[in-house]
Structure 1
């Protein structure tokens, strides 16, 4: 079965933002020139023609760039690229042909890639064809290919059809297994020639999807000829993720996020090759999930309109899988559960002192058991997050019945906390789910919990090393680098935060599953979600996907700028890269690429 798409193109070359090799040379254009750069004159070129200035600069080894008013420069310091540049002219910085200078203009950066120097058009009747023995695989890839084609073709054109260039893509999927989980093979190989057919080979449909994402980021529209072009072919890509768990947490309890926005959020994860939607679906403020077996829990929602039905959840999970994203639900117990009391007050210590949930009544665990059981059918992933953080036990101490129950069991407050975690963990295990808990559970109980317990480190990066040293699996989400609600954290901090920091033992490194950026929604709703998440989260996405050796923020920045504009073209409202604070307005009128 083939999926064909038509559009009008003609042969042409184009300049690719973020690519080190542009239309006439290896230069990066930066808007404006400040006083520091103006004092670094090498010589006057005697011309204002950009192409002549490039030739003059190429002929002089001392020239590392030039100002387009004719002044050649040798100062390429970071000061020449800051936000306080004036708008009088442009600085063209000359790129070397170093490894950093030849990075593929893709986020996240692939494991390995080689490029040529030839620009090639994509023919009008470009055809996707999937080689597989499975009709389900074929249909999946047909749907994904159609989606990516709609993202690639960004402009209408009335040009005549083009028949020379890249004619189509042959997609080879080795496995018919379409399950998506922690061990899914997401690798792919992409071969883009200077003419003929592209070849995409992957072990699974999810690896093939990542390959299509890479391909889509390489295709650019050239306005002069109204063509779609890939620069620097032939291109060969070998790619696979560094970590299996790469995600973002989204909190839908502090503010409700509508279904279209949740889907768009999931789609945005796929564009960055993230594969986990950690759905922090309920918290103290709201319980927006409707359940058939526990119909009163949804009384804790903000309003009857701000809920997710079981059918909504099934739709979101299916949509996420189509985008290569797993959905891991979180029900944070015994703390962060005040909203549960609206529907089932008997599971809370008292009407006036409601959390943590009451451990002294079997009704509490009956409710949790029914919740996990029903959610097992809604959320298909093997993992289930049970929270366990910020358990402030004052209400336990104030309750006569809970104090009496603890005395009968000879439990301290900490014993009671541990008992609650152990019981809920065992419930999830009996139902075939692996449970994740926040860092505080490890900090309280160390190595005394079951070895299949997974911990998510958020208070400090140092805890991650302690967790794996004790033989437990870990997910990193340290708040000083990967908390998106912390608006002073820069994209550079997101980019340089590494899960293996302070973990050098290979066996312990194997216990590090990956990481998540966290979008807590106290000050975020549908109106400002995407420009708070993006583009900063792309720094974490590259850290979790790309090789450990890919660490240069300078090399990442032009690719990040291009990715930010790509997201905007795809309807994901990413903020300007150079904003002093996330989600603030752009500083001035101008191109998306220079904000």
Structure 2
């Protein structure tokens, strides 16, 4: 889309209104993920706009989008809450002034970005990739990349993207249910900041997912997030409830399978049939 071209917003309005009539929800996600400046460099309206004032930046361009698109989105219903990805506020190409009544969905840098956004007064949906992305650790989908064949990173100064067994998965390693359940995304937040956490979502991006694999990649790992956000991961004494949670999630997996859901196995069947036989620590207090 050409951000400067006025006709863009006519299209945006028509598409948004059509979708809103189909999905009259009180929540609506309007994107702003991974803003790519190079996408706009070949658009004459944009290049002319930059030429008119050499001091303009891509941050100004992002703000132009916010100023023109957000009123369209907000015009549908006073009760509707808009959601945008954190990039519109925290990326290099961020806009200057994004209304704080827009919910931010965070995916980078874990608790740090949650802290920054809530400190700015935004409500936040937590989707931190390093804890909650369900498609991580599956290798890369851009085939025939010669870097996949290198056993170790030849240049320690570059990001460890394709080497050391990651196979091109930008967010490797695989996020286990324990990793998800262990995530304390309110750490170092004030009470006021913590109140800005309105939910959490474990995304499963579909580059390497189809109808054959979707259930096994979702389940039962997603249940760990459900318990984390509903009940927390600690007991009344502040100890992790991992031992008790383990048996619950194992039982839940069996329930899913019995109902035809191809949920992934987490342990040998022996461990399921003999509760806590496979616990590493019999003493729950050992799990901190």
Structure exhibiting the larger radius of gyration computed from Cα positions: 1
Aligned to 1:502: 188
* Cα-to-partner distance string for 1:134-172 (whole Å, 9 max, x where unaligned): xxxxxxxxxxxxxxxxxxxxxxxxxxxxxxxxxxxxxxx
SS for the counterpart of 2:187 is coil
Aligned partners of 1:451 and 1:471 also within 8 Å: yes
* Cα-to-partner distance string for 1:429-479 (whole Å, 9 max, x where unaligned): 111232111111110448732121211110121101111111111110000
**Aligned residue among 436, 456, 459 for 2:108:** 459
1:364-443 matched pairs, under 5 angstroms: 364-408=8-52, 411-432=56-77, 433-443=80-90
Could you tell me how far apart the structure 1 residues matched to 2:68 and 2:202 are? 29
Cα deviation, residue 547, structure 1: 4.0
After TM superposition, the score normalised by the length of structure 2 is 0.73
Aligned to 1:561: 250
Aligned partners of 1:499 and 1:515 also within 8 Å: no
Could you tell me how far apart the structure 1 residues matched to 2:107 and 2:24 are? 25
- Higher strand proportion: 1
Aligned partners of 1:535 and 1:574 also within 8 Å: yes
Aligned partners of 1:437 and 1:454 also within 8 Å: yes
Unaligned runs of 5+ in 2: 138-173, 279-288
Aligned to 2:124: 474
Unaligned runs of 5+ in 1: 1-356, 579-586
Aligned to 1:219: none
Aligned partners of 2:125 and 2:198 also within 8 Å: yes
* RMSD, matched Cα: 2.2
Could you tell me how far apart the structure 1 residues matched to 2:186 and 2:242 are? 18
Aligned to 2:211: 526
SS for the counterpart of 2:249 is helix
Cα deviation, residue 527, structure 1: 0.3
SS for the counterpart of 1:451 is coil
Aligned to 1:334: none
Q: Aligned pair in 2 of structure 1 residues 535, 572: CA closer, same or farther (>3 Å)?
A: same
Q: Aligned pair in 2 of structure 1 residues 446, 553: CA closer, same or farther (>3 Å)?
A: farther
Cα deviation, residue 419, structure 1: 1.5
Q: How many residues align?
A: 228
1:542 aligns with 2:227: yes
Could you tell me how far apart the structure 2 residues matched to 1:592 and 1:406 are? 64
Cα deviation, residue 427, structure 1: 1.1
**Aligned residue among 475, 485, 491 for 2:135:** 485
1:552 aligns with 2:233: no
**Aligned residue among 262, 269, 279 for 1:573:** 262
Cα deviation, residue 389, structure 1: 1.2
SS for the counterpart of 1:448 is coil
Cα deviation, residue 494, structure 1: 0.7
After TM superposition, the score normalised by the length of structure 1 is 0.37
Aligned to 2:272: 593
Could you tell me how far apart the structure 1 residues matched to 2:31 and 2:65 are? 11
* Cα-to-partner distance string for 1:264-315 (whole Å, 9 max, x where unaligned): xxxxxxxxxxxxxxxxxxxxxxxxxxxxxxxxxxxxxxxxxxxxxxxxxxxx
Q: Aligned pair in 2 of structure 1 residues 358, 446: CA closer, same or farther (>3 Å)?
A: closer
